[in-house]
Chains A and B, each alone.
Chain A
Amino acid sequence: MVSEIPVEAKSLSKRFGEVIAVENIDFSVKRGQVIGLLGGNGAGKTTTMSLLMGLVTPSAGEARIFGEDVIKRNPSALARINFSSPYVEMPGRLTVAENLMVYAHLFGVVHAKERIAKLAKDLDLESFLNRMTRTLSAGQKSRSALAKSLINEPELLLLDEPTASLDPDTADWVRTYLEAYQRDTGAAILLASHNMPEVERLCDEVLMMRAGRIVDRGSPAELISRHGRRNLEEVFLDIARKRTKETS
């Protein structure tokens, strides 16, 4: 029987030549869970996400999405996930509505117009839905990218720094929306972020990464308590600066 666990990473590794990007990591994300990937630049967060989306081939181990090996690019599994990152863009010469229509087709959304209208209302896109994507402000682009990542109502949402470059008000609005989406749909979310308050607020469990390895894991409260620190940022600095022993 095919597993319905959104994410299973088993002994997952990735090397680019001599560079070890991800080394022997194991974790899973269950339905309704929000898991944070935390680590400094080059810790392996984005590569881990790329491995889970089938954009990068593992050097060893396996990544399964809803029980399917992502390397095989099974359409029924891929149609259930989506992704957002401020570092990956949508075609700038298309309007927001046009981009969403294209992605609705790619993800096999049957009633695309209705879905786009709902997202436009929910995410407050209506005023710039017919503007070219390249002319939008950072906040508008971020909301459009979020709409794209929700176009297929994903059961697994992978978010790479979803609030980077947003002002505090817009960032808070995005976090609130994500909380509501997760609560309403029971979706699993894998979140890579450098924003510690964001991770503390959204995540049930945090995987601390350094040099491609998971060096600690637990709920934000557990990690703060275990490291004897006041907040997750201090834990992050401990780990990034190698002041603690690895626990996994």
Chain B
Amino acid sequence: MIERRFDPGGRIIGLMLRHYYLYRGSIPRIIELAYWPLMQIMLWGFITEYFQQHSSLIAKAGGLLLAGVLLWDVLFRGQLGVSVSFLEELWSRNLGQMFVSPLKPQELAAALMAVSVVRTIIGLSPAALAAWVLYEFNIASMGLSLVAFFGLLMTFSWAIGIAVCAMLLRFGLGAESLAWVSVFALAPVSAVYYPVEILPAWLEPIALALPSAHVFEGMRSVLLNGYFDWGHFFWAAGLNVVMLVIANWLFVTAFNSARDGGRLLQSGE
């Protein structure tokens, strides 16, 4: 009889391998990862150069817009990394096969999160490099603050991505477009390019209930004042915990609903 082991780590690595093999064999997929972030940074780089000549704020902190673009893409690409990787399983009608194995839904979620980190780093590295070479903005100059912002935004992106996966499990591929558009609903209230105080009074509490608004407020604090705002950091971290708990509950509930409705074997149809 062959030797078997029962560790969750092996199953998570197995799912990560599945996506590594997929990207290794598909150049268009790799190009797609980097294409939009690169185009975004090119566009906003020229806008920044224009505003530097007409805005005292941008003249003072030229990286404000470019840092916003790059960090917003961490949230967007991170969320896509989770939800599109899950869509790959639906498209290939693989979900039923996977769950005949000892795989648990939380392990699938963990693997999707790990894949999203790799996808995000691969997708954003060329854009960050372009910002440095073409527009003399080195996002790494933010130092440890960048690590904190990246971590906070990745965590929030996981929560959104897992919630989207829950919708896909519940409603099937009819909800596919959620994977692409859901994060944009958060853009106006995430205060990416402007402070929260610009928002109407009734929207401010909504913005401050999102980890992303605290991250972008923190980013402005670092770039404009050279000061890391621990208050925003702890708010974002605490809200992330709440968001992850809600997303995990949604995912497990949707998984159980899919089992009850017999949809695991039919996914993709």
Q: Say yes or no: is A132 at the interface (Cβ < 8 Å to chain B).
A: yes
Q: Give B33 Cβ to nearest chain A Cβ, in Å.
A: 16
* CB contact between B3 and one of A16, A81, A103, A111 (< 8 Å): that residue: A111
Q: Say yes or no: is B60 at the interface (Cβ < 8 Å to chain A).
A: no
- Residues of A44-62 at the interface with B, using a CB-CB cut-off of 8 Å, are 46-47, 50, 53-57
- Residues of A65-92 at the interface with B, using a CB-CB cut-off of 8 Å, are 73-76, 78-79, 81-83, 88-92
Q: Say yes or no: is B181 at the interface (Cβ < 8 Å to chain A).
A: no
Q: Say yes or no: is B160 at the interface (Cβ < 8 Å to chain A).
A: no
Q: Say yes or no: is A93 at the interface (Cβ < 8 Å to chain B).
A: yes
Closest Cβ neighbor of B7 among chain A residues: A108
State A115–B15 Cα separation when bound (angstroms). Answer: 19
* CB contact between B10 and one of A47, A78, A82, A105 (< 8 Å): that residue: A105
Known: A79-B102, A108-B10. A93 touches B22 (CB 8 A): yes
Closest Cβ neighbor of A73 among chain B residues: B104
Contact B265 A50 (CB under 8 A): yes
State A17–B154 Cα separation when bound (angstroms). Answer: 40
**Residues of chain A contacted by B262 (CB below 8 angstroms):** 14, 16, 21, 47, 50, 55-56
Q: Say yes or no: is A26 at the interface (Cβ < 8 Å to chain B).
A: no
State A208–B196 Cα separation when bound (angstroms). Answer: 67
Contact B93 A89 (CB under 8 A): yes
Contact A107 B21 (CB under 8 A): no
Contact A94 B22 (CB under 8 A): yes
State A108–B265 Cα separation when bound (angstroms). Answer: 22
**Most chain A beta carbons < 10 A, residue from B2, B3, B10, B104:** B2
Known: A91-B88, A102-B14, A102-B15. A55 touches B5 (CB 8 A): no
Chain B 225-251: CB-based contact to A (< 8 A → 1; otherwise 0): 000000000000000000000000000
Q: Give A121 Cβ to nearest chain B Cβ, in Å.
A: 15
Q: Give A52 Cβ to nearest chain B Cβ, in Å.
A: 10
**Residues of chain B contacted by A95 (CB below 8 angstroms):** 21, 25
State A108–B102 Cα separation when bound (angstroms). Answer: 9
Contact A152 B92 (CB under 8 A): no
**Residues of chain B contacted by A92 (CB below 8 angstroms):** 92
Contact A108 B17 (CB under 8 A): no
Closest Cβ neighbor of B4 among chain A residues: A108
Q: Say yes or no: is A106 at the interface (Cβ < 8 Å to chain B).
A: yes
**Most chain A beta carbons < 10 A, residue from B5, B100, B265:** B100
Q: Say yes or no: is B264 at the interface (Cβ < 8 Å to chain A).
A: yes
Contact A81 B14 (CB under 8 A): no
**Residues of chain A contacted by B98 (CB below 8 angstroms):** 106
Stretch at the interface among B46-54, B64-72, B138-146, B253-261: B253-261
State A52–B18 Cα separation when bound (angstroms). Answer: 26
4 interchain residue pairs of minimum CB distance: A105-B14, A75-B102, A106-B101, A110-B3
**29 A-B contacts, Cβ less than 8 Å apart?**
A14-B262, A21-B262, A47-B262, A53-B99, A55-B259, A55-B262, A56-B259, A56-B264, A73-B104, A78-B101, A79-B4, A82-B100, A83-B100, A88-B265, A90-B94, A91-B94, A94-B25, A95-B25, A104-B14, A105-B11, A105-B13, A106-B14, A108-B5, A108-B6, A109-B3, A110-B4, A111-B3, A152-B2, A185-B1
